[in-house]
Structure 1
Amino acid sequence: MFQLTATPASALADEPVHIRVTGLSPLQLVTLMASLKDEKGNVYRSKAFYKANEVGELDLTQAPAFGGDYVGVHPMGLFWSLKPQKAFGRLLKRDVNSPFWVTLNLYDSVCMQDFITDEPMASQVVQRWFSAPGIQRVQIREGRVRGALFLPPGEGPFPGVIDLFGGRGGLVEFRASLLAVHGFAVLALAYFAYEDLPSSLQEIDLEYFEEAANLLLAHPKVQMPGIGVISVSKGAEIGLAMACFLKQVAATICINGTNAIYEFPLRYKDLVITPIPTFIERMQFHVSGAVSLRHYKGDPRDELNQQSVLPIEKAQGSILFIVGENDECFNSKEYAEQALRQLRSHGRNNGRMLAYPGAGHLIEPPYAPLCYASPNQSFSWPLLWGGDPAAHAAAQEHSWGEILKFLRQHLIQTRKKL
């Protein structure tokens, strides 16, 4: 009797699942398929071809896939290789209080087509959660600040973190919720295109982010004296600015960001930093119909642009730059290297970089499928994010461990020093 098992069948989204098949014929060729439907009804699918061992068993921690959406030994390959049926789809968990349901199907022989009407030999459904029992979600509408605060169970106090996403706007909660499971009090912060906030970004008002930092630190379950910031893309530009100007920020993670102000001015009290210009003629169109912005921005090293470069040497806390070397949206490795050189030239050593060959722009928590390109409200065309699926998956898995380590080290030790 064929048996397909995936353990644990209900787990956090950043936990690996052990997939095994028993009851096959010796050396039997099979196809394993995964499918998922997001909250909007969009379907994502993946498949891989495998050969059973001499006793008719298959263990994905040991067996290499010989074709399909990936090749080689990848125990979580069926998850990170999920592809949208509809072009330019991006898998985003919108309601963190419900899981993604992933259906795993086993088919006899090698099935080349993406959609199979035959009954599978065996099936298993796996739940992938971004929250856990006891995690509290608090809607934040205080002063100007809009977002959602995720609190771990217990009295605390917990290290506080602000979570910033990029140019898509709105409120994105899945990473904040997942970090709360790991013991952090996390404010998923919206800054445009949400509730009564501006519908589009016109300027970066750093006092808004300072208000959010103070609000988080004032919470009785959040430990003093400093908070962390985790940020990606446009959010990472803001995250770096927060590190430079806000004394509340003790640790900053910038995922594929810049080292200067672009597109919109940054304001903080009496200070205004004008943005570096962008050049529409430098956009590059990809064969897929998406557009690459990698060379679209002016160079921070040009003399005319110097006044737009963030004064990273003023940052009091530690900064971790995470960059994908195949980022098609920003020249993010170059920006991180410039920032680190600037720190060193001022005798500072509070920054470091993790660079991942083959990783694209949208580096998410582990096992999330690569989003190669997706629509963006600021452009008429989908934006190209880049990334090789297997290399990107490896980057996500490794960087997540480093993110958790970094936040624990710099936020929890901060407390111990006092």
Structure 2
Amino acid sequence: MPIRWRFLLCALIAIAPPAAGQVSGNRGRIVVTPRGPVILGEEVTIRLDGLLPGIEYQLVAETVNEWGALFQSVNTFVAGTSGVIELSQDAPVRGSYTRADRLGIFWSAVRQGTPPSVGPTDAPADSIQVSLVLRQEGRTVDSTRLVQWLLRPGATVRELREGGIVGALYQPAGAGPRPLVVLLGGSGGGMTWQRQAAAVLASHGYLALALAYFGVPGLPPALSDIPLEYFREAIALSKRHADVDPTHVAMIGLSRGAEAALLAATKFPEISAVVAFAPSHVVFMGQLPPRFPLQAAWTFGGNPVPYVPTREIRPFRRTDNEAERTLRYLVVNAEAAAASVIPVERIQGPILLFSGGTDPIWPSGLMAELITERLAAKGFKQPFQRFSYDSAGHAFARPGYVSTTPAGFTGGDPRANAYAQVESWRRMLEFLAAWR
């Protein structure tokens, strides 16, 4: 179903009068707080009230995400004598999750049908639409709609294809100057995650640059010999197109993008804060398929940045022991690892680190710990924090109440990944608010 029809369907569900099979005036309603649209990731509570005690009710949640993919969760609840179900306190008797969970209907949703094709530079929709339908014995008792903005009304997007830079600058409504946040994705290339995150950050009042650095037309096809100067040039270009507060430029990176953010911030003092999801404490080799030769990922001043060889780690052959193999390469190549440590103590601002305790891609928890140990040992004067989520995997940097089922090759427990997403974004917004 085309994305425009899915959005229209959600809207019609919310406003349509009772149809055949729908119970008009029957007991039971869905209460969503707050009632109006929210920014993706802002807290939402859902309650069912006015229910008949001891009777089964089915809550169906259908989400059309920002790329037009449809997800559905179906859960059955039985109310007690109060006639109220609080999702945060009451577990379904059967369905897609098993215990009381305020996020359960979101993270346990399963994709329906064939996913839409998403290109590496495609822009997401401005909102995620969630249709909630309450049924009893197959009849609709109540329905409502939850709108979660990625990009709130009034914010704008400017596509940047200039001077060799490929990105999209998300700008909040209103006058500046404003802090600039630069977003860097991981080894998948493109700018899909960056766009999602940049839109939400713009909705919170930040200038946000979703920046590609390989894997799109006009840029290198693979993560190999990427000049670190590219990131400084992207910052300069953003300043030419928006009213940037020059004293407040942050970088947020995921995986190899976290490595890049930490490394770039050691070179360019205008970067005054770093947030790193699933970070590395060292620089790893480039990824140039299909043979993966010993090749630098990054250059600086035209010279390759020293790296740890991991030639046998191939992203297109994910295995459960990839993190262990990465750890083995760090041990086997101890001399190269020592020469490739990122001198994070040179960063001119606060640092925030997130990692998952069951990251199967690389040992981000250990590497984040090594970063903080180095900062402490070097007497780093700026604030720094590290948060680890025990059962989360590698990729929980996406904002909002969204499906995390199944976890896929990036690992982690779906429920743990969902809570890591919500909690890490809450902490990151607090971090950025204190920094700005």
For residue 164 of structure 1, what is the amino acid of its counterpart?
A: L
Judged with a 3 Å threshold, the aligned counterparts in structure 2 of structure 1 residues 20 and 343 are, in CA distance, closer, same or farther, namely closer
8 Å contact from structure 2 (residues 275, 353) kept in 1: yes
Q: CA deviation at 1:240?
A: 0.9
Q: What secondary structure, in the 3-state scheme, does the structure 1 residue paired with 2:417 have?
A: helix
Structure 1 pair 171/282, CA: closer, same or farther in 2 (3 Å)?
closer
Which of 206, 211, 216 is the matching residue for 2:233?
Answer: 211
Larger mean CA deviation between 263-272 and 150-159 belongs to 263-272
Gaps of 5+ in 2: 1-25, 287-295
Hey, what's the Cα distance between the residues in 1 that align with 2:187 and 2:273? 22
Change (3 A) 1:356 1:90: farther
Q: Map 1:212-291 onto structure 2 (within 5 A).
A: 212-264=234-286, 265=296, 266-278=298-310, 280=312
Q: Does residue 1:106 correspond to 2:139, yes or no? A: no
Which residue does 1:355 correspond to in 2? 388
Pick aligned residue for 1:369 from 400, 403, 415: 403
Moved more, 337-346 or 39-48: 39-48
Quote the residue 1:304 is aligned against. Answer: 336
| 1-10 or 71-80: bigger deviation | 1-10
Residue by residue over 1:387-413, the C-alpha shift from the partner in whole angstroms, topping out at 9 and shown as x without a partner, is 222222222222112111211222x2x
Bigger shift: residues 30-39 or 75-84 = 30-39
Structure 1 partner of 2:4: none
1:201 paired with 2:223, answer yes
How much does 1:214 deviate? 2.2
Q: Give TM-score, length-normalised by structure 2.
A: 0.81
Tell whether 2:104 aligns with 1:81.
Answer: no
2:177 is the alignment partner of 1:149: no
Asked if the contact 1:88/1:373 (under 8 Å) is kept, the reply is no
Partner of 2:59: 32
- Aligned partners of 2:74, 2:63: CA distance in 1, in Å? 12
Match of residue 392, structure 1, among 402, 412, 417 = 417
**Which residue, 391, 407, 410 being the options, matches 2:432?**
407
Task: Confirm or deny: 8 A CA contact 2:313 2:322 kept in the other structure.
Answer: no
Change (3 A) 1:98 1:227: closer
Does the Cα contact within 8 Å between 1:37 and 1:44 map onto a contact in 2?
yes
Letter in 1 for 2:79: A
Change (3 A) 1:91 1:106: farther
Which amino acid counterpart does residue 234 of structure 1 have in structure 2? R
1:191 maps to 2:191: no
Q: Distance in 1 between matches of 2:74 and 2:317?
A: 29
Give the one of 12, 32, 41 matched to 1:6: 32
Using the TM superposition, name which of 307-316 and 35-44 deviates more: 35-44
Coordinate RMSD, CA, aligned: 3.0
Segment of structure 1 superposing worse, 41-50 or 400-409: 41-50
Q: Is the 1:213–1:248 contact (alpha carbons within 8 Å) kept by the matching residues of 2?
A: no
Q: CA, structure 1 residues 258+90, in 2 after alignment: closer, same or farther (shift >3 Å)? A: farther
**In structure 2, what is the equivalent of residue 69 of structure 1?**
96
Contact 2:60 2:74 in 1 (8 A): yes
Once the two structures are TM-superposed, the CA of residue 83 in structure 1 deviates from its matched residue by 2.7
Alpha-carbon distance change, 321 to 71 in structure 1, aligned in 2, over 3 angstroms: same
Q: Does 1:295 align with 2:327?
A: no
> How far is 1:212 from its partner?
1.0
> How much does 1:302 deviate?
1.4
CA distance in 1, matches of 2:31, 2:123: 27
The one-letter code matched in structure 1 to 2:214 is: F
Deviations 1:111-152 (A, max 9, x none): xxxxxxx55443333222201111111111221211111111
Residue 433 of structure 2 aligns with an amino acid whose one-letter code is R
Does residue 84 of structure 2 align to residue 50 of structure 1? no
The secondary structure found in structure 2 opposite 1:343 is helix
Rate the CA distance shift 1:190–1:279 in 2: closer, same or farther, 3 A. Answer: closer
**1:9-33 per-position Cα deviation (integer Å, ceiling 9, x unaligned):** 5322212333233342113222322
Q: Deviations over 1:185-242 (max 9, x none)?
A: 1111011122311222222210101111222344551112240011111111111111
Quote the Cα distance in structure 1 between the aligned partners of 2:113 and 2:362: 25
Say yes or no: does 1:330 pair with 2:359: no
In the alignment, residue 72 of structure 2 is paired with which amino acid?
A: R
Distance 1:365 1:87, change over 3 A: same
One-letter amino acid matched to 2:230: Y
In the alignment, residue 235 of structure 2 is paired with which amino acid?
A: A
Cα separation, partners in 2 of 1:397 and 1:252, compared to 1, 3 Å: same
| Preserved contact between residue 323 and residue 363 of structure 2 (Cα < 8 Å) | yes
Corresponding residue of 2:5: none
Task: Determine the C-alpha separation between the residues in 1 that align with 2:114 and 2:407.
Answer: 9
Instruction: Please say which of residues 176-185 and 68-77 is displaced more in the overlay.
Output: 68-77
For 1:409, the aligned partner's letter is A
How many pairs does the alignment contain?
391
Distance 1:105 1:371 in 2: 21
CA 1:121–1:226 in 2, change beyond 3 Å: closer, same or farther? closer
Same amino acid, percent of matched pairs:
30
- 8 Å contact from structure 1 (residues 94, 174) kept in 2: no
